Structure 1
Amino acid sequence: TNRNYNQSCGVDSPGSCCTLDHIPLVSKCGTLPPESCFFSLICSLGSFMVILVGLLRYAHLLERLGPSLLNTLGLATGWVCAAGLTMVGSFQVDHAKVLHYIGAGVAFPTSMLFLLLQSILTYHMAKTRGQYWTGHLRSILTIVAFLTLIFSGVFFIQESFVLQHVAALCEWMFIIDVLVFYGTFTFEFGAISTDTFLVLLKASRTPKSYKEESSVSSTAHIHSHAEGLAMA
């Protein structure tokens, strides 16, 4: 009775039978309408939230730690993950498998890297016991995400019916773990104010203002040197 899930079952097969083509992976649960519509919508909203959270996190760390290569890498990996997530939602696996797998191949590793970088940055910023506990929590979530992602990939390529279901379970656990990780940012985002955005705007304008100041100072130096030569 559950729609296309049992189409491949034989006449005498039980009503709950399932083949390797119907393993409840995340992508397989969003291939047919109306589920595919919600799947695409959720992925698009999710990619937008990843961009927004990544930018807020970057601004918050920029205010607390100043310019940092790890912080910039965290922002970049988050935005690349958002691009991959958009591809995953836009191209369903049963209709555009290559593009779907390209998006998944971009989104999953960069999401894992984003978690790792943010865990490291949490320890760099930590000063209180609560902040260190937040770092411990994120480290645990990062380890769980890494293990579930590895197991999901290993079991996914197997032909075993049981292992394919384990891969689906690991994939769902990975996604839930990532969502919980993003939820931990509420600890820091509660301290975000207008000053945070001013720091972000100031940082984006720093190279331009530096060039203007450099050009002005160099021009003033040339003029003073020319005046000195004229007086001499």
Structure 2
Amino acid sequence: MPAWGILPVTLPAFTITGMWIVYAMALSNNHICPVHNWSYNQSCDMDGPSSCCTLDHIPLVSKCGTLPPESCFFSLICSLGSFMVILVGLLRYAHLLECLGPSLLNTLGLATGWVCAAGLTMVGNFQVDHAKVLHYIGAGVAFPTSMLFLLLQSILTYRMAKTRGQYWTGHLRSILTTVAFFTLVFSGVFFIQESFVLQHVAALCEWMFIIDVLVFYGTFTFEFGAISTDTFLVLLKASRAPKSYKGESSLSSTACIHSHVEGLAMA
């Protein structure tokens, strides 16, 4: 498989592993409650202060990375993850440009991916307990735009689909987009509740949303295996002469179909 086909798999593998380490560090330092512990307040009386679970210890993603030393790793993971999101978004844009030609949906997909990366950078570098307003602004930018990115990419997958395998990829991405939508909505609805149990559910939904989005990014490996030097030449040519490129979009689409099949065969 070409090197670019590894990138979409590296993003979820690196981020999920890194976030698990952050969670483990926060748990070992008693900064959060275990995900399996649903006994808030009562646990303070039974087990003592060292394992006390209160509303401040709910294992939200942001809570896992709000205090040192895990906050340092949290910032690093979010910053590197943001860079990879920018790179994946650009490669996805170039590949669709080669296959479909100029497209408003493709441009919106690139924009939402990059805006999501900017929001993710804010989330990672402004911890919720120290810069709450900036942290929530970043989360308010990153979560909705990542949801919109998934939706746009699912639509574009169907628009590009010519083979049965490509349609199945579209089905998979549609399922992941649906799961992401419901987990994001439930996370927001339960987060504003005063119930400890519902806020704990909000934390689980937030983790599910993030993992689901990362798995979605991993599915780009199906197409990225076909990315070649010609893909970057198409991107460069489109940026310099977009009008003349429109007349050649059909030829690029035909070449893309063949390169996609070759990429799947190599995978």
Deviation at 1:16, TM superposition (A): 3.6
Distance 1:98-1:214 versus aligned 2 partners, 3 A rule? closer
Deviation at 1:218, TM superposition (A): 33
Distance 1:221-1:5 versus aligned 2 partners, 3 A rule? closer
Distance 1:229-1:69 versus aligned 2 partners, 3 A rule? closer
Specify the SS of the correspondent of 2:248. Answer: helix
Q: CA-to-partner distance for each residue in 1:127-152, whole Å, 9 max, x for gaps?
A: 00000000000000000000000000
Distance 1:64-1:9 versus aligned 2 partners, 3 A rule? same
Distance 1:135-1:224 versus aligned 2 partners, 3 A rule? closer
Judge conservation of contact 1:158–1:164 (CA < 8 Å) in 2: yes
Deviation at 1:21, TM superposition (A): 1.1
Within 5 Å, give how 1:20-99 maps onto structure 2. Answer: 20-99=55-134
Judge conservation of contact 1:6–1:16 (CA < 8 Å) in 2: no
Query: For the aligned residues, what is the CA RMSD?
Result: 12.7
| Structure of greater Rg | 1
Specify the SS of the correspondent of 1:199. Answer: helix
Specify the SS of the correspondent of 1:9. Answer: helix
Give me the whole-angstrom Cα distance separating, in 1, the residues matched to 2:186 and 2:222: 30
Distance 1:228-1:43 versus aligned 2 partners, 3 A rule? closer
Distance 1:8-1:190 versus aligned 2 partners, 3 A rule? same
Judge conservation of contact 2:226–2:260 (CA < 8 Å) in 1: no
Where in structure 2 are there 5+ consecutive unaligned residues?
1-36
Deviation at 1:17, TM superposition (A): 3.2
What TM-score do you get using the length of structure 2 for normalisation? 0.74
* Paired residue total: 231
Q: CA-to-partner distance for each residue in 1:19-70, whole Å, 9 max, x for gaps?
A: 1111000000001111000000000011101100000000000000000000
Distance 1:78-1:3 versus aligned 2 partners, 3 A rule? same
Distance 1:147-1:214 versus aligned 2 partners, 3 A rule? closer
Where in structure 1 are there 5+ consecutive unaligned residues?
none
Distance 1:207-1:162 versus aligned 2 partners, 3 A rule? same
Judge conservation of contact 2:101–2:246 (CA < 8 Å) in 1: no
Judge conservation of contact 2:147–2:180 (CA < 8 Å) in 1: yes
In structure 1, what is the equivalent of residue 227 of structure 2? Answer: 192
Specify the SS of the correspondent of 1:15. Answer: helix
Give me the whole-angstrom Cα distance separating, in 2, the residues matched to 1:3 and 1:225: 48
Judge conservation of contact 1:87–1:99 (CA < 8 Å) in 2: yes
Specify the SS of the correspondent of 1:37. Answer: helix
Q: 4+ residue stretches of structure 1 with deviation over 2 A?
A: 2-17, 207-232
Give me the whole-angstrom Cα distance separating, in 1, the residues matched to 2:147 and 2:198: 22
Specify the SS of the correspondent of 2:51. Answer: coil
- Higher relative CO (CA 8 A, sep ≥ 6), structure 1 or 2? 2
Deviation at 1:186, TM superposition (A): 0.1
Deviation at 1:6, TM superposition (A): 9.9
Identity %: 93
Give me the whole-angstrom Cα distance separating, in 2, the residues matched to 1:58 and 1:213: 17
Judge conservation of contact 1:77–1:110 (CA < 8 Å) in 2: yes
Which range is displaced more, 16-25 or 213-222? 213-222
Which range is displaced more, 165-174 or 209-218? 209-218
